[in-house]
Amino acid sequence: MYPAMRKLFFTDCRCAGDPPKTYEELFAKLDTNKDGKVDVSELKAGLAAMGIQTGKGAVQKIISSADKNKDDALDFNEFAKYLKEHEKKLRLTFKSLDKNKDGQVDYMEIQQSFADLGLEITKEDAKKILQSIDSDGTMSLDWNEWREHFLLNPATSLQEIIRYWKHSTVLDIGDSLTIPDEFTEEEKTTGLWWKQLISGAVAGAVSRTGTAPLDRMKVFMQVHASKSNKISLAGGFKQMLKEGGVTSLWRGNGINVLKIAPETAIKFMAYEQYKKLLASEQGKIQTHERFMAGSLAGATAQTAIYPMEVMKTRLTLRKTGQYSGMFDCAKKILQKEGVKAFYKGYVPNILGIIPYAGIDLAVYESLKNFWLSKYAKDTANPGVLVLLGCGTISSTCGQLASYPLALIRTRMQAQGKYVTRNVNINSI
């Protein structure tokens, strides 16, 4: 079990002997041809000569992330800036591990950090992980040992701080167009991933049920509001209560909750496959590749469950007694409008995924990284409130960009031989 734990928690990078104390000394040691630049071959050879083992593609990742002028080499300013930023992330990670804030990390703190991620390891495994970095044999890590071990490795450990950096704390607004969650290999092999998916589905069901009245009001305003037929929020709720009572506020919520499970499962499985197809480097995925994989996974899931989306809109707009349930709704749509009716509004819906997912992800990552660079001092964990704020703002920006397409989609979904057009709110 230890190799798997070590691979998850730390990278395969260890320094032999004492590394240079300053960036200048380190750069001079790596710049073997003394041309004032360090390219991939020099960096790779230099690290090997210093006894530092790097993972596949790690050297290229360092060059690519720090090479601002795109000349495939690093001058001293680029090199120093990269190390400074990287060292800051390493310090934040170290402070996150140092639970008791004594400046040292022991095996119990490593074990606790795994527990915080939902992963259980034994004391023996935690001690082995500690020993792989502990250069002075004290069975504890100080900042210098941590820095020397990871300074010239592109990872910032903790699997890029697995839980803190995942895009998973956004508000569920009902449309489910967000990038799917990512899971580590350890989470997949231990079965933790499906527990998280189930937890997410239950949380989504609760949140959608709680916001169902607002969702129904939104659909009514999208379909029936016009210049001549203005619908206010208060007036709309008043008329819905008058027409169908309190329970009418939750019309369409049953199928909206029912589609969470298949949509989440399809999106997750499709996302994993698309990541493998699109990743330029095996086992690693860049931000733009993650966006593309997430968009394609969202489109795949939406294609599979889209008939349920159309039924949800029709059930939300129905009058009292129009349908006896979702099966009756599906039957009447099929009989009167045919199979094609189940995919009305499909094109604008799919097109809306791209701006939503792209803006949502880009804004979220930008806000989170801005907070970490400006305000993070003692921990690499932004905290629930910061992540919630980032998620709320990013989702709002995504919604604003994709809303015109969502409006077109809903109106197309509502079109039917038995759906009243230009309805006055007093007749609802």
Whether 179 is covered by a domain: the verdict is no
225 and 331 both lie in a single domain: yes
What pLDDT is stored for residue 339 in this prediction?
A: 92
Assign residue 99 the CATH number of its domain. Answer: 1.10.238.10
Looking at the DSSP bridge assignments, the partners of residue 74 are 38
**Among residues 343, 373, 398, which one ends one of the domains?**
343
What is the rounded distance in angstroms from the CA atom of residue 376 to the CA atom of residue 370? 9
Whether 421 is covered by a domain: the verdict is no
154 and 233 both lie in a single domain: no
pLDDT digits (tens, 9 = 90+) for 148-174: 766 665 544 454 433 333 433 333 434
Whether 422 is covered by a domain: the verdict is no
316 and 251 both lie in a single domain: yes
What pLDDT is stored for residue 57 in this prediction?
A: 65
Better pLDDT: 6 or 45: 45
Q: What is the percentage of the chain residues whose pLDDT exceeds 90?
A: 8
Assign residue 242 the CATH number of its domain. Answer: 1.50.40.10
Query: Are 423 and 222 within 8 A, CB to CB?
Result: no
Mean pLDDT is lowest, of 115-129, 161-175, 179-193, 286-300, for 161-175
3-state secondary structure of 197: helix
74 and 98 both lie in a single domain: yes
Where residue 340 falls among pLDDT bands split at 50, 70, 90?
A: very high
Give the count of domains, the chain: 3
Whether 420 is covered by a domain: the verdict is no
**Among residues 167, 201, 217, which one ends one of the domains?**
167
Handedness of CA 25, 30, 33, 36 (dihedral sign): negative
Residue numbers of the domain that contains 275? 186-343
Better pLDDT: 421 or 326: 326
158 and 194 both lie in a single domain: no
Whether 423 is covered by a domain: the verdict is no
Q: Is the pLDDT of residue 142 over 50?
A: yes
What is the rounded distance in angstroms from the CA atom of residue 165 to the CA atom of residue 161? 6
242 and 355 both lie in a single domain: no
For the chain, percent helix, then strand, then coil, each to nearest 5?
A: 65, 0, 30
Better pLDDT: 51 or 205: 205
What is the rounded distance in angstroms from the CA atom of residue 179 to the CA atom of residue 391? 12
Whether 172 is covered by a domain: the verdict is no
7 and 105 both lie in a single domain: yes
Q: Is the pLDDT of residue 246 over 60?
A: yes
46 and 96 both lie in a single domain: yes
Whether 274 is covered by a domain: the verdict is yes
238 and 130 both lie in a single domain: no
292 and 373 both lie in a single domain: no
For the chain, what is the radius of gyration of the CA atoms?
A: 27
234 and 304 both lie in a single domain: yes
Q: What are phi and psi of 373, to 5 degrees?
A: -75, -30
What pLDDT is stored for residue 161 in this prediction?
A: 34
Query: Are 398 and 167 within 8 A, CB to CB?
Result: no
Q: Is the pLDDT of residue 359 over 70?
A: yes
Whether 267 is covered by a domain: the verdict is yes
Query: Are 180 and 297 within 8 A, CB to CB?
Result: yes
| CA atoms in the 13 A half-sphere facing the CB of 394 | 27
Q: Is the pLDDT of residue 233 over 70?
A: yes
**Among residues 313, 343, 373, which one ends one of the domains?**
343
267 and 140 both lie in a single domain: no
